[in-house]
Amino acid sequence: MLLSLLLTLLFSLVGALPTPASAVVGGTPVPAARYPWLAAVGSPVFLVRASGQFCGGVLTAPDRLLTAAHCVDLFRAVPWLLTATFGRDDLGGTGGETVQVKAVRVHPGYRETSFKGETVGHHDLAVLTLARPVRRGVAVLDRPGSARTGEIAGWGGTSANDLFNTRLRAANVPVHGNAVCERAYGDSFDGADMLCAGSATFDSCEFDSGGPLLVRGRVVALTSWGYGCARPGYPGVYARLGSLP
């Protein structure tokens, strides 16, 4: 029974997780110490990535991690299959610390639609409770305000076809107003719980959904979805933090 469940989860993850936007295109390697609150969210059943990583997360309390709902929705009944790894520059290494997850709480308004074959997450937020507290700084959350520039960070691919990058990277990205996002995505974009950022040079891509969009060093949104990676006219879409689960 347990083996069957693990195999089902593995095949579901392999098929489902690479779709949403989630990594850093055009970024440069950075030390994990720059973001002590940033975690690589993964699972030992996700064998296709170093450290089992498939998403990112933001520490908001010693035992609480904020991430994207679409990353962890499959694990609500088996949260102990999830891990959060902090302080690791390269997921192929052994630095930092890894903590098991004991509970998953998904935003009650979370739902999925689609845009040109890409999964669209609405209220794409979830909170993970860690099995033990970690002793490290927590992220400061804020609203984006009128900012026009932000910063993204993650361990994912550097292009749509890059499944093997394991280095933490970061990039500065333009933050767009709702009108730009609506022109790109039409009714799939909801400015009440989404914002968009990025360009054809710097953008989010695969394997870091749930990672941060920062403005002035504060987390204002989490990587959620997008149409391709750094595709002209289609910036990445991020989940606003206005209504946490």
Considering 124, 193, 203, 208, which one is annotated as catalytic? 124
Catalytic residue among 22, 70, 188, 193: 70
- Clarify whether 176 is annotated catalytic: no
Tokens linked to 24: 């850093």
Among 230, 231, 234, smallest CA distance to 182 is for 234
Q: Is 70 a catalytic residue?
A: yes
The number of beta carbons lying within 10 Å of the beta carbon of residue 166 is 19
Judge whether 138 and 60 are in contact, CB under 8 Å: yes
Concatenating the DSSP letter of every residue in 57-109 gives EEEEETTEEEE-HHHHGGGTT-GGG-EEEES-SBTTS--SEEEEEEEEEE-TT
d(CA 185, CA 161): 23
Active-site residue, from 22, 43, 51, 209:
209
Residue 31 half-sphere exposure toward CB, CA atoms < 13 A:
3
To the query of whether residue 124 is one of the catalytic residues in this protein, the response is yes
Q: Active-site residue numbers?
A: 70, 124, 209
